[in-house]
Structure 1
Amino acid sequence: MATLSSLGVGAGFDTESVVSKLVALEKAPAQKIQSENSKLNTKLSTWGRVQSAFAALRDASAALNRPDFWRATTATSSDATAVSVTTGNSTPTGSYSVQVNALATSQFVSSGAFASKASPVGEGTLRISLGTYESDGGEPPAITFAAKAAAQAIEIEIGPGDNTLEKIRDRINSANAGVTAALITDAAGTRLVMRGPSGASNAFKVEVAEGASPGLSALAYDASTGGTSSMTRTQSASNAQATINGLSVSSETNSFSDVLDGMSLQVSRVTASPVEVTVAQDTAAMRKGIDDFVGAYNSLVGLIRVQTLYDEASKTAGPLQGDSTATGLLSQIRRLASTSTGATSAFERLSDVGLELNKDGTLKVNSTKLQSAMGKLPELARFFSNSDDGNPAANGIAQRFREIAAKVVGSDGAISTRTDGLRATIKRNDEKISRLEDRVALIEARLRKQYTALDTNMGNLTALQSYVSQQLAQLNKSS
């Protein structure tokens, strides 16, 4: 007899459907747990968003706690094309008169003209030294070269494969000697031009030791008395010179760094008259920091409110609806926003400095009130950032928010405890699902075996019935 290819053929009814429905019933508990895990994963993801929002509040609060935040300054220049300025947190406010007398320059030297960049020059050794050319002030003055203590002379070997003008340029540029080389071509031919760093102490000399093929001395340069020079100096190295409120200052570059408690100047041209530089408190940066704090607080409050909300209209609940940890944290930070501080007598609550509470627990900024509070900057700084270990009631508002936010997002904080519990439940559920799936697989195998046997037996009975019917029909014909 042929083997049945599917359940139900022998039995004459849809046993495949029966088995599928029975298996589906057995799978129902696992599907219920999977649905529960889906909700738990949504909660876990939502707690991740809440943790990020608390971290943002912690960081925004920490910014208001830094002493340098309240000392931030900004500067303006009456002629930024000549003098631009940056300031630090320690720069005193006030006005400064800056006269630019000279810009920093680099030493340039140029060789004689060669026929082309591929022209051979010679072989040997170039020795490049950075330093200062100094005059003794005599008549005529005697010039000496003093090597720069922090710089080491670099020797560059020029062999048969490096002796063309362009190859020598490349060898100089790859030697890290502090000097760069370039080729300039005009109607007279091609010249090698060498340039040092700016500043009087970054002048240079080039000494030459001739090799087997002479001619390299065409690149020698030494401006000291008695020195050998085949190259021509087209520009001397010198420092930038300026006067700030009558005080002369100099720099090897056109930047004057930290000339006054964190104030740096960048000079671009010599000025015929002084440029006025004004340093003031950077209240715009401070206002931005306060706005960032308000934004972080409102984002956190809004997030928890939405995630714990039950919408009557849609009959849907947020992932954290009914979660006591979430509602507890929301209540805690909202209470903190309305508490007072003894950090300063000038301001007591956030509303005193223009950060007013809305009915939904978020903050709104009263710009007029906040601007007025900034007129008392030292007191405003204490209101936000004061720290007093001996008297917690005297801690600033931002200090308190930073502490609570840091505790909440800490490794043993409320969020970690809650999410660890969720992960443990998800893991247990996954293990249950795995066991149920194994059990369902065994049940399905048993059912298929039983219904396969039923199919076979029913098929045999059907075939026997057909045979008996045929024999009876033959007997009836013959009688």
Structure 2
Amino acid sequence: MATISSAGIGSGLQVESIITQLVALEKNPLKTLTAKATLVQNQISAIGTIHSEFSALADAAKAMMSPTAWSARTASSSNTAAATVTATATANATSISLDVDSLAKPQSVTSPTLPAGGLVGAGTLVLRTGSWAAGVFTPGGASSDITITAEATDTVASLAAKINSANSGVVATAFNDGTSDRLLLQSKVTGTSSGFRLQVTTDADSVATDNAGLSRLSFDPAAGAFGMATAGLPVQYGSNANARINGMAVTSQTNTLTNNIPGVTIVLSATTTTNYGLVNEALAPVTVAVREDVTPAVKSVQAFVTAYNTLAASLADGTKYDSATKTAAIFQGDSTVVGMQNVLRNMLGSISAGSAYQRLADVGIQRQLDGSLTLDTTKLSTAANNGTELQKLFTANNSNPLTDGFAKKFYALATGVLATGGLVTNKANALQKVLNNNGTEQTRVNDRAAAVEARLRKQYTALDTQMAGLNALNAYVAQQVTTWNKSTA
């Protein structure tokens, strides 16, 4: 007997069409499930956006709670060529008069001229740092002798390199004026305590004070006017900066004043006093001012308003109903998301205690009909310049969530809804569970449809087999009848 290779061949029925339509009926619930899955996926995405926006609101509120958001200072100088000023948050607002009498300088000396490229002479140099006063050298407390050995082959350049490699606090420079070489020495820092002495302890000619050989590079005025202490050679001793703040004398080893006014640093760059210390002394004071800088505070409030508006817009878009198109948004009527909106709006209308201002509207932050906030920058700037009252409105800690500052309120709200068990987290988890169940149900429908298809194919295959046998029997009977009719004709 021939094998049935396709359902319907034996019976003559449109079996494939019948099976396809019956299986399609079994899969019909997938349309609803797929549509639901798409909606839930969109809701999960929207909740993710809302999560991020609550997080941004928390960040903005937290930034407002930082003292640095309210303690910025700006400093100015009426003569920046003579003095510049910076101030930290610890500085109090003030205005002072500054006279720059003299600048701090390093010690510097220069050697007599030596033949260009010539040898300096062999021997030993001893360098020590300290201070000079009335021609007397006093070694520094932590100072130690640094010995530099000059070889017979040393030039000014090679000796300068040896001095620099000793890291003694003195910088050596080989200088050529076009015809001759000189050795220039300068202390690395300024101030009276940055001085140095350079002694020749041994010289190839056995005389360390004859202004010949290596002794030409000595600087020891107390021992005599030879070497770099020779009369006529330029010498600058280390000196401190001298200034007057509101007429009171101050001094500094450097040209930076840091400890005179808490939180204020003044860098001196030019003198303002003419003929300092003389009878014809003339003053040209610099006015140094430190003021509160409200710019960061205003920016932090603006950042809070922006973060709030972004979140409010997402909540409004997700819960709206378009009457013109009769289309509901993905969270329209959702009690959780609508609840978030209500909590935010109620918090905007609450009060804060402990400040001259109680409501956000008092400082120019107004809620509009669409739920967004507008900012009156003029009103906000006025509040920002009203001492610490604006800061108190946002940061007051009354140990009461109903009257705490608004930054504290919104930070607590945002972190709360994002925490485990919070509204946003719970909503996201619930939606994911719905999506997972939907996937399970779709699998169940597909499995059931597959089982139905398998059963139908089995049944129609059996029917085809039976119909094929009956057709064969019918053909045989018909043949026999034909044969019988012929034999009786």
CA displacement at 1:236 relative to structure 2: 2.1
- Work out the CA distance in 2 between the residues paired with 1:370 and 1:387: 21
Q: Report the equivalent of 1:280.
A: 291
Distance in 2 between residues matched to 1:259 and 1:152, nearest whole Å: 32
The reply to whether residue 398 of structure 1 matches residue 407 of structure 2 is yes
Give 1:200's aligned amino acid: T
Counting matched residue pairs gives: 412
Residue 376 of structure 1 and its aligned partner are, at CA, apart by 3.4
SS of the equivalent of 1:198 reads: coil
Deviation at 1:90, TM superposition (A): 3.0
Q: Quick one: structure 1 residues 404 and 202, their matched pair in 2 at CA, closer, same or farther if it must change by over 3 Å?
A: farther
TM-score, with structure 2 as normaliser: 0.66
Three-state SS of the structure 1 residue aligned to 2:271 is coil
- Comparing 181-190 with 271-280, greater Cα deviation is found at 181-190
Say yes or no: does 1:252 pair with 2:253.
yes
Measure how far apart 1:291 and its partner are: 2.1
SS in 2 for 1:259: coil
Q: CA RMSD in A?
A: 5.0
TM-score between both structures, scaled by the size of structure 1 = 0.67
Q: Which residue of 2 aligns with 1:240?
A: 241
Distance change (3 Å), C-alpha of 1:251 and 1:35: farther
1:226 is aligned with what amino acid?
Answer: A
1:192-341 → structure 2 map (5 Å cutoff): 192-195=183-186, 196-206=188-198, 217=214, 221-223=218-220, 225-226=222-223, 230-231=227-228, 234-272=235-273, 273-306=284-317, 326-341=337-352
**Aligned 8 A contact 2:70 2:296 in 1:** no
Q: Which residue identity lines up with residue 130 of structure 2 in the other structure? A: T
Q: Partner letter of residue 62 of structure 1?
A: K
* Pick aligned residue for 1:144 from 123, 134, 138: 138
2:88 is the alignment partner of 1:77: no
**Alpha-carbon spacing, 1:84–1:36, altered in 2? closer, same or farther (3 Å):** farther
Q: Sequence identity of aligned pairs in percent? A: 31
- Correspondence 1:132 to 2:130: yes
Unaligned runs of 5+ in 2: 1-19, 207-211, 274-283, 448-489
**Distance (whole Å) between structure 1 residues aligned to residue 289 and residue 38 of structure 2:** 61
Distance 2:36 2:145 in 1: 75
Following TM superposition, by how much is the alpha carbon of 1:323 offset from its aligned partner in structure 2, in angstroms?
A: 6.5
**Shift of residue 402, structure 1, vs aligned partner:** 2.3
Q: Distance in 2 between matches of 1:63 and 1:377?
A: 19
Structure with the greater alpha carbon radius of gyration: 2
**Contact 1:153/1:177 (<8 A) preserved:** no
Runs (5+) with no aligned partner, structure 1:
1-20, 440-479
AA partner of residue 146 (structure 1): G
- 1:348-427 aligned at under 5 Å gives the runs 348-374=358-384, 376-389=386-399, 391-410=400-419, 413-416=422-425
1:162-173 map, 5 Å: 163-173=154-164
TM-fit CA distance, 1:201: 2.0
1:41, distance to aligned residue in structure 2 (A): 7.4
Shift of 1:412: 6.5
- Distance in 2, matches of 1:384 and 1:431, equals 49
Q: Could you report, residue by residue, the CA deviation over 1:366-417 in whole angstroms, capped at 9, with x for unpaired residues?
A: 234334434532333322211122x443411122122223334457755555
Contact kept? 1:144, 1:225, Cα under 8 Å:
no
Instruction: Give secondary structure in 2 for the equivalent of 1:96.
Output: strand
